[in-house]
Amino acid sequence: MGGAEKFQLTAIPRDSYLGLSHAGVAQLVEHHLAKVDVESSSLFARSILRKPLVSSGFFVISRVVNAAEFFALPPSLARFAPFFPADVPPWEWLKKIGAALGSVEFGHLALALPPGVHIEGKVWLDRTVKLPPYATIVGPAWIGAGTEIRPGAFIRGNVIAGAGCVMGNASEFKNCLLLDGVQAPHYNYVGDSILGNKAHLGAGVICSNLRLDQAEIVVKLPDGSAAPTGLRKFGAVLGDKAEVGCNAVLNPGTLLGPRALVMPCTPFSGYLPPATIARTRTTIATIERRD
């Protein structure tokens, strides 16, 4: 199997599930999973119940999608490495952003603030951060070297940005992790999301982070299975150098592999493999104008 994919296979005896309801079978599966080594007991190692492959029982297949399949934590964020291990699903990183920021000893800001920049709470800005005439930064937030914050940006808590990012005009960032070189330059919403190194959002791209029914967000995995995340708010994960075109919407729980591309004005859900393009085609009709 590929180095990034990890499976654990176990068989459930046939006699143990005959006569049970579907709910009973599900409970039995959970009982057996408690005995299965899936590298850890974390909730993200979930199961898929298949049809019988042999007459002796059902097989339970557990699959782990690792953060390492999407991106690598850059040296600029090495201080946070204990909170963002490579061998867990990327959405587990979202749960650790607050703890990572809690490890920082915030001191006095190392650079002068323009009159229109409002800061409250615990905020760390590298002395090379480029500040606009006006913006709002609510901590906790940690902004790395050479990052440019543009006019009207709203950074509102639990935000970590690496080196050389662009946090754009009239864009909002909340509970998110931006690795090095991320560009979110115009009218973007980045909530409960992780953007990999050199990921790029076109103007107006929205990372939607809440289902309409506000239920737990379940992600679609590369093998077509699904995994609950334990999160009610979860936007998108973009791998290194992934791109999203102008005015596209990434629905909750979207996963884009490295160098994946979502074309402009496309609503996208689920998983897009690395170096793959997602697009829609529309038909435009023209008619004569009658005044």
Among residues 83, 81, 84, 62, which one has the least CA distance to residue 5?
Answer: 62
**CATH 2.30.30.30 at 75-278, yes or no:** no
The long-range contacts involving 35-40, CB below 8 angstroms and separated by at least 24 positions, are 35/10, 36/8, 36/10, 36/60, 36/62, 37/8, 38/6, 38/8, 38/62, 38/64, 39/6, 39/8, 39/64, 39/87
- Residues 200-224 have pLDDT tens digits of 999 999 999 999 999 999 999 888 8
Torsion of CA 220, 223, 224, 228, to 10 degrees: -40
- Say what the pLDDT of residue 108 is: 85
Mean pLDDT is highest, among 24-28, 104-108, 260-264, for 260-264
Among residues 67, 16, 70, 17, which one has the least CA distance to residue 42?
Answer: 67
Q: Quote the CA–CA distance of 150 and 171 in Å, as a whole number.
A: 9
Q: What is the mean pLDDT of the chain?
A: 85
- Residues 221-255 have pLDDT tens digits of 888 899 999 999 999 999 999 999 999 999 999 99
Mean local confidence (pLDDT), 87-113: 94
Query: Which residues belong to CATH 2.160.10.10 in the chain?
Result: 75-278
pLDDT beyond 90 at 79 = yes
* Position 188, amino acid: N
Mean local confidence (pLDDT), 36-54: 39
- Residues 253-273 have pLDDT tens digits of 999 999 999 999 999 999 999
Mean local confidence (pLDDT), 132-141: 97
Q: ∠ CA 86-125-204 to the nearest 5 degrees? A: 70
Q: Quote the CA–CA distance of 109 and 113 in Å, as a whole number.
A: 9
Among residues 207, 234, 203, 206, which one has the least CA distance to residue 220?
Answer: 234
pLDDT beyond 80 at 43 = no
- Say what the pLDDT of residue 134 is: 97
pLDDT beyond 60 at 188 = yes
